[in-house]
Amino acid sequence: MRHLKRIAIRLAAGIGVLWGAATLSFLALHATAGDAALATVAGDGANPTQAVLDRVRADYGLDLPLHRQYLNYLGKLLTGDLGESYQQRIAVTKAIGGQLGETVQLAVSAAVVAVVLAVGVAVLTAGRRRWIRSATSGAELVLTSFPTFVLGLVLLIVFSFQAGWFPVSGNGGVEALVLPTLTLALPIAATLSQVLRTELEEVLEQPFILTARSRGMREAAVRLGHALRHALIQIVTMSGFVIGGLLGGAVITETLFVRRGVGQLMLTATTTKDVPLVLGVVLLAATVYVVVNLLVDIVYGLVDPRVVTA
Amino acid sequence: MTALSLTVPRVSARLRGWRVRPGLVLGVAFLVLLVIAAIAPALLTSHDPLEISTDGAFLPPGGDHLLGTDQSGRDILARMVHGARSSLVMGLGATAIGVTVGAAVGLLAGLANRFVEGALMRLVDVTLSVPDLLMALVVIALLGTGTVNALFAVAFASIPYYARMLRAQTHVVRRATYVEAATALGLPRWTVIRRHVLPNAFKPLIVLATIGIGNAIGAGASLSFLGLGTKPPAPEWGNMLSLGIQYISNDWTMVAIPGLAITLTVLSVTVVGRDLKRRSEGRAV
Amino acid sequence: MSIRKSTSLLAGVAALGLLAACNSGGTGPATADARPAGTALNVGGKPVAGGTLNLSMSADPLCLDPHAISSDVEQIFGRILTDNLVYLDKDGNPAPWLAERWEVSADQKTYTFHLRKGVTFSDGAVFDAQAVVTNFEHMLDPATRSPLAGPYIAPYQDSRILDPQTLEVHLKQPYTPFLDVLAQGWLGLLSPKAIKESTPAQLCEKPVGSGPFVLTGYTKNQGATFTKRKGYDWAPPLLGATGEAHLDGINVSWVGQDAVRFNSLASGQYQATGYVPAQNAAAVKTDPKLVYSNVNRIGLPYTIEFNTTRAPFDDLKVRQAFVAAVNRDAIVKTVGFGERQLATSFVDRVTKYYDPTVKLPGFDVQRANDLLDQAGWTARDADGYRTKDGKPLLVQWPVGQTATVSPIFDLIQAQVKAVGIKVNVELIPPAQLTTRRYAGDYDLSAGVWHTNTPDVLYIKYATFSIPRKEQLGQNTSHLSDPQLDAWLDQARQTSDKKVLADLYSKVQQRLAELTPGFPVYDNSVLWAFSAKLHNVVVDTSHGTPYFGHAWLEK
C-alpha cells in the first residue's frame, strides 16, 4: 500500500515534469529569434508569394498571440494531438514514429553491447594480476575520455573508409549498425566496467565468497553467480547514466554516420524552428526519463524496502 | 579560473609519487603544456593562426609548418596552440558556472524544508528530462553562436548533475554523527552548516568538478563539431575537426591532430581528477 | 537564391569549370557555344534491361510534390517521376515534350498548346488539357505552399480548354520566360486525379506523375524508391531514345555528410551520387570505376551581394572598394579545387544572352584603398580598421550555421581586412537567417540562383523583386535602378532574339557598373556515377543526370 501510494505520487510528479519540460521548451523556442512561418516556406532557394506565407501563418495559428498558441497547444495535447510538423507536413507522432525505431534499435543494441562488455570485462579482470587490471583500467580510461564524435570518427575512418569492412553510412541492416553501436557503447561500457570491477573486488573479499570457495565452488561459478547479482544492482543504479549517455550520444552518432533517427530529427527541427516537432521530441525524452526513474524506484523498492527517495 | 587554482597546487604537491604513476605525470605535463599554450601561445608558435595563404593550402607536415596547413593555408600548429585557450576556458568556465549554480541549488534543496526541496528537485528533473543537446541548441539559438554562448550552454546542461550530487551529499553530512553532535551541543544552525556541512559536502564536489572539466571540454568540442560553438575563423579544435572531415580524403592529419588533442586533454584531466578522487577517498594510489 | 542554398552549395553541392567529361579524363573549360547539356555520358555497348540503381543525394526535401518544394533534389527527381510540357534544346530554347507544338499571340499574352495524345499518369489518369489546368491551379494554390513552381508562373491568369488536346493559356501580362520555366523539374506535371484526391500534405508523401519511373516508397530522411513505369513511351523527342526505362528501378538514399557520401560512392555502396564535393573531384576523376561530370548551370553564378540600402554599402565607392579588395582568383582556386570557374558576368556563361564582353573589376588593393579614402573612411582604429565619424567600417555577414562552414567567408574576411574593412561573419540557425534576410538585416549575403532562363536577372535585380511588406522577393541587394527595370521589363515582353541579346547585354553591363555585388564563380553541378552505368544524359535545364535511358552493366 505504501509502495502504491509512493508510486502514485511519483507518477503525478512525473506528469508535472512533462508539463514543465513542454512549457519550458515552448517558451524557450518562442523566445529565440526567427519567424517560424518564414523558416517553413521561405528557406532553401524558395521564392514564395506573400499569400503562401499568410496561409501558413493561418494554418498553424502563428498569427495568434503567444498565450493563445500555448493554450491551444496544451488543449490539443490533452487530447493526445501533438500537432503537425511545419517542415514535414505530417503529424508529429508520425514524424517521430518514423524515426523512433532506428534510434531505439541503435540505443538497445548499444545498451546490450555495453552491459555485456562491462560485465564480461569486470568478471574476467576483477582481482586478477596487477598488470591485467592496469591494462584494462588504462583502456577504460582512454575510452571514457574519447568524446563520442572523436571515437566514432576513428572507427569510421579505420574500419569503413580504410578497411572497408562496414558500409560507410545509412540504416541498412546489421552491418550498418556495428560501428554506430560501438561508438555509442564503448564509453558507456568502460564506465560501467570500472564501477562493476570495484564493486566486484569488494564482493570477492566478503566472507560468503570464501565460504562458497571453501565449499568447492569453482572460481568461474563464484564470479558469474555472485558477481552477476551484484552487477545487476549496479546496472539498475546506473541506468539513468546509461540512458542519458545513449540519448546524448545518439545525436552525434546519427550525425556522424548519417543515420536517420530522433537525434537527427531534433537537430534539424530546432534549427528550423519546427516548434511542434521539437516539443514532441522533448515530451518523448521527458517521458523516457520519467518512466526510467519510476522503474528504478520500483525496482529499488522491491530490492530494498528501506529505500525511500525524495 | 577557480577550479584551475584549486587543481594545480594539489597536483604539484603530489609529484613525489610520480615514479609510481607515469600516467599522472604525463597527464599533468600535457595540461601544463596546454596552460602555457593558453596563456602564452607565442612561446610555442610564431605563426598567426588566422593568416591565410591561398597558395599554401593542404601543405603536409614538415618544414616551416610543423603540422602542415589547412584548406585556407593556415598553419595547423598555430591553430592548435591558439585553440587551447578556448578549450581550457570552456572546460574551466563551464564547470565553474555549473558547479556554482548547481551547488547553490543543491545546497538550498538539501537544507531547506521538504516543500522547497521538492519544488527545486522537480525543477532539476525538468531540466534533466530535456536532452542536454536540445538545451544547448535552444540556449545557442537564444544567445547566438560563439565561444561564450557555447560555454553557457554546456554550463547550463551540467547544473542539474551538480545540484543533485550536492543535495545528496548535504543529506549524508547532515545525518553524520558529528553534525548531529554539533547540533545537540546547541551550536546555531548556520554555524553548523558553515563549519561542518559546507566543507564536507564540497569536498567530493571539487573532485567531481575536476572530472567535469574534462567532460565540459568534450561537450564544448561536440557543440563546435555540430557547428554551434566558436565562430570561424577563430581557432577551435572541435571546429577544426569538423572542417577536417570535409577534406579527409585530401589530408587526414586535419582530422587526426585536433581529434588527438581533444582526447588527450580530456584524458589528462580525467587522470588528474581520478587521482584526486582516490586520494580524497583515502584509497591506495 | 537564398543564402541557405549557398551554404549547401559550398558544402559541395555544386562546383564548376569543366565540360561534361565523358570519362575520368576531363576536358577543357566550358565556353558559351559548347554546352554539354543534352550530351549522353558513358555511351557505348548494348543496353541491357534490369538492375536497380542506388543513388545517393545530399538532403531530403521532406516533400516530393515538385510544386511544393524548392530543393535542388527536384532537378533530378523531376526527370525520374514527371514529364513537362516542354524540354529545352541544347541551345536553351524550348522544344516539344508533352506539348507537341504551340503558338504565341502577338501581344505575348496568349499561348495555345497542342498536347500529345496517349499519355497517361501512373494512376491511370489521362494527360489532357484539363490535367494541365489542374496542375497550374495546384501550383498557384497557397495551400500547396509552392516556393518555385507557383512563383515562376505568377503571370498566369486563366485557361480555356479548346478540346482535350488543345489548351489556350492566358497571362496577365507578357512574360516570355514562360515557356522556358515550363521545362523545369519543379514544374513537372502531376496526375490531376492525385491532385484532386489528396490534400497538399498527402501529395507530398505520394506524388503521381507520368514519368519513366513511379514512386513506390518514401521514408522521410531515409530514402525513396522508384520502379520503372510500364509502357512509358513519351520521353522528350530531342533525346532520341523512346520506350520504357532499362533500369528496373532507382533507390535513393539521403547521405548528408560530404565525406561519407564520397566514400560510399567510391566503395560501390552507391552507383551514382547527385552531388560530389569539389574537394573529392580529383579522386573521382582518377578512379577508373567512376564517371565524373561537372556541368555549368544557367542562372546567377555564386555571387556575394551588398545590401545597397544601408551604410556602408549604400555608397557605390565602398562597394567598388570591397570588390577591388577581394582576390576572386585566389578564392576560386582555394574553394574550387580546380573544379570551379571564375565568373565573368552576373549570369553563368552557359546562360542564353550571356555577354562575354562584360568587364568585372579585378583585384587591386591600391584602388580599394583610394576608393575608401575618397569615400571618407580615412581614420583608423587601434586594430587598423577604417573609421568615419568615429564609426568603424564594420559589415555584418549572417551565414547559416553548419558544421561545415565554407572557407570562402574566412578568405574574404582576411582579404578585406588588408584594406581596413572588418567583416563580422555571424553563424545563425536557418530560421533566423531566413528572417533576417527578408527583414533586410545584413550587409552581405551570398548565394546562387539557378533557373533556366536569363530572366534570373529580373528575379535578382528588378525593383519589383525587392522584399517588402506585401511580398517576398529575391533582390537581396535591394538594388533599384529605373534604367535596369526598363530593360528587364522589355525583355519579358519580347521574343525577338536580337532585341533580347541587346537588352540582356545592357543589363549585364549596367550591373557591372552599379556593383550590387560581385559574382565569384560560375555555378556548376558536380556529380558522378559508376562506370558500369551507361548512357546517362545531362539535363538541358539543370545540368543534372537524367536516368530515363540509362542502363546498368551486369
pLDDT digits 0-9 by tens, C499-547: 999 999 999 999 999 999 999 999 999 999 999 999 999 999 999 999 9
pLDDT band at B10 (very low <50, low <70, confident <90, very high): very low
- Are residues C181 and C299 in contact, defined by beta-carbon separation less than 8 angstroms? no
**What pLDDT does residue C3 have?**
34
Q: At what angle do helices B253-280 and A130-145 cross, to 10 degrees?
A: 120
Tell me the pTM: 0.87
Nearest CA in chain B to A287: B129
pLDDT band at A61 (very low <50, low <70, confident <90, very high): very high
pLDDT band at B218 (very low <50, low <70, confident <90, very high): confident
Residue B216 in any domain: the answer is: yes
- Are residues C544 and C525 in contact, defined by beta-carbon separation less than 8 angstroms? yes
Q: Virtual CA dihedral for C516, C521, C524, C527, nearest 10 degrees?
A: -140
Residues C303-317 pLDDT 10s = 999 999 999 999 999
Span C409-417, average pLDDT: 92
**Nearest CB to A42: which of C144, C154, C472?**
C472
**Residues A246, A230: Cα–Cα separation, whole Å:** 23
**What pLDDT does residue C35 have?**
52
Q: Which domain holds residue B132?
A: 90-280
Using a CB-CB distance cutoff of 8 angstroms, which residues of chain C are in contact with residue A255?
Answer: 257
Residue B4 in any domain: the answer is: no
Span C229-240, average pLDDT: 93
Place of cell 565525406: C259
Q: Virtual CA dihedral for C187, C188, C192, C197, nearest 10 degrees?
A: -90
Q: What angle is formed at CA A54 by the lines to CA A53 and CA A58, rounded to 5 degrees? A: 120
**Nearest CB to B134: which of A144, A266, A289?**
A266
Cis peptide before B233 (omega within 30 of 0): yes
Residue B42 in any domain: the answer is: no
With an 8 Å Cβ cutoff, are A49 and C472 in contact?
yes
pLDDT at residue B5 tops 70: no
pLDDT at residue B110 tops 80: yes
Cis peptide before C61 (omega within 30 of 0): no
**What pLDDT does residue B265 have?**
92
**What pLDDT does residue C242 have?**
82
Nearest CA in chain B to C282: B250
**Residues C478, C475: Cα–Cα separation, whole Å:** 5
| More confident call, B284 vs B97 | B97
Residue B120 in any domain: the answer is: yes
Of A158-162, A172-176, C343-347, C390-394, the least confident: A172-176
Those residues whose C-beta lies under 8 Å from the C-beta of residue C384, and which sit 6 or more positions away, are C417, C420
With an 8 Å Cβ cutoff, are C62 and A170 in contact?
no
**What pLDDT does residue C181 have?**
97
**Residues B272, B278: Cα–Cα separation, whole Å:** 10
Secondary structure letter of residue C187 according to DSSP: G
Domain count, chain B: 1
**What pLDDT does residue B1 have?**
31
Those residues whose C-beta lies under 8 Å from the C-beta of residue C375, and which sit 6 or more positions away, are C312, C315, C317, C318, C321, C388
pLDDT at residue A288 tops 90: no
Residues B20-78 pLDDT 10s = 578 889 999 999 999 999 999 999 988 999 888 877 888 888 888 889 898 888 999 99
Residue B171 in any domain: the answer is: yes
pLDDT at residue C24 tops 60: no
| More confident call, B214 vs B145 | B214
**What pLDDT does residue B19 have?**
45
**Nearest CB to B247: which of C279, C402, C429?**
C279
Of B11-15, C16-20, C95-99, C207-211, the least confident: C16-20
Chains in contact with A, where contact requires at least 3 CB pairs less than 8 Å apart: B, C
Span B100-114, average pLDDT: 88
pLDDT at residue B228 tops 50: yes
Residue B51 in any domain: the answer is: no
Q: What CATH number corresponds to the domain at position B227? A: 1.10.3720.10
Question: What are the counts of helices (DSSP H) followed by strands (DSSP E) for chain C?
Answer: 17, 26
Residue B175 in any domain: the answer is: yes
Chains in contact with B, where contact requires at least 3 CB pairs less than 8 Å apart: A, C
Task: Supply the ipTM of this predicted assembly.
Answer: 0.84
- Are residues B166 and B106 in contact, defined by beta-carbon separation less than 8 angstroms? yes
Q: Compute the nearest-CA separation of B126 from chain C (Å).
A: 25
Span C413-418, average pLDDT: 94
**Residues C534, C536: Cα–Cα separation, whole Å:** 6
Residue A152's Cβ-count burial label (10 Å; 0-12, 13-18, 19+) is buried
**What pLDDT does residue B127 have?**
85
pLDDT, mean over chain B: 82
pLDDT at residue C463 tops 90: yes
| Closest CA relative to residue C307, chosen from C187, C440, C461, C178 | C440
**What pLDDT does residue A168 have?**
62
Percent of chain C topping pLDDT 90: 80
**What pLDDT does residue B20 have?**
57
pLDDT at residue C183 tops 70: yes
Residues A204-236 pLDDT 10s = 777 777 777 777 777 777 777 766 676 667 677
With an 8 Å Cβ cutoff, are A149 and B255 in contact?
no
Residue C320's beta-bridge partner residues? Answer: none
Place of cell 522584399: C467
Those residues whose C-beta lies under 8 Å from the C-beta of residue C100, and which sit 6 or more positions away, are C114, C115, C116
With an 8 Å Cβ cutoff, are A89 and C470 in contact?
no
Residues C117-154 pLDDT 10s = 999 999 999 999 999 999 999 999 999 999 999 999 99
- Are residues C330 and C13 in contact, defined by beta-carbon separation less than 8 angstroms? no
- Are residues A308 and A6 in contact, defined by beta-carbon separation less than 8 angstroms? yes
3-state DSSP assignment of residue C320:
helix
Place of cell 551604410: C311
Residues A91-120 pLDDT 10s = 999 999 988 888 888 999 999 999 889 888
pLDDT band at C418 (very low <50, low <70, confident <90, very high): very high
Residue B184 in any domain: the answer is: yes
CA atoms within 13 A on the CB side of B77: 16
**What pLDDT does residue C19 have?**
31
Query: Is C143 in CB contact (< 8 Å) with chain B?
Result: no
**Residues C307, C467: Cα–Cα separation, whole Å:** 12
> What CA–CA distances, in Å, run from A166 to A159, A176, C253, C261, C489?
7, 6, 17, 14, 57
Rg (CA), chain A: 24
**Residues C261, C277: Cα–Cα separation, whole Å:** 9
pLDDT band at C67 (very low <50, low <70, confident <90, very high): very high
Residue pairs between chains A and C whose CB atoms are closer than 8 Å: 164
| Closest CA relative to residue B67, chosen from B267, B251, B266 | B251
**Residues B164, C257: Cα–Cα separation, whole Å:** 38
pLDDT band at C450 (very low <50, low <70, confident <90, very high): very high
Handedness of CA C426, C431, C434, C435 (dihedral sign): negative
Q: What angle is formed at CA A27 by the lines to CA A23 and CA A31, rounded to 5 degrees? A: 170
Using a CB-CB distance cutoff of 8 angstroms, which residues of chain B are in contact with residue C520?
Answer: none
Place of cell 527545486: B120
Q: Which of A195-204, A240-249, B237-246, C380-389 has the highest mean pLDDT?
A: C380-389
| More confident call, C428 vs C534 | C534
Percent of chain B topping pLDDT 70: 92
pLDDT, mean over chain A: 83
pLDDT at residue C5 tops 60: no
What is the DSSP annotation of C439-487? Answer: HT--SEEEEEEE-SSTTHHHHHH-GGGS-BTTB----TT----HHHHHH
Other beta carbons within 10 angstroms of residue C505's beta carbon come to 18
pLDDT at residue A133 tops 60: yes
Secondary structure letter of residue C254 according to DSSP: E
- Are residues C90 and C540 in contact, defined by beta-carbon separation less than 8 angstroms? yes
* N-terminal to C-terminal alpha carbon distance within chain C: 41
**Residues A289, A17: Cα–Cα separation, whole Å:** 10
**What pLDDT does residue C546 have?**
95
Span C289-297, average pLDDT: 93
pLDDT, mean over chain C: 90
**Residues C233, A39: Cα–Cα separation, whole Å:** 40
Of A77-86, C4-13, C407-416, the least confident: C4-13
Residues B229-283 pLDDT 10s = 877 788 889 888 888 888 887 788 888 899 999 999 999 998 888 888 777 776 5
Nearest CA in chain C to B70: C407
Residues A140-181 pLDDT 10s = 888 888 888 889 888 888 887 777 777 666 566 677 888 899
- Are residues B25 and B55 in contact, defined by beta-carbon separation less than 8 angstroms? no
User: Helices marked H in chain B — which ranges?
Assistant: 2-13, 22-39, 76-111, 114-129, 132-143, 147-175, 177-184, 189-192, 198-225, 237-246, 253-280
Residues A179-188 pLDDT 10s = 899 999 998 8
**Residues C213, C250: Cα–Cα separation, whole Å:** 8
Residues A80-92 pLDDT 10s = 899 999 999 999 9
**Residues B88, A82: Cα–Cα separation, whole Å:** 42
| Closest CA relative to residue B266, chosen from B113, B59, B91 | B91
**Residues C548, B201: Cα–Cα separation, whole Å:** 72
Span B141-165, average pLDDT: 85
**What pLDDT does residue A208 have?**
75
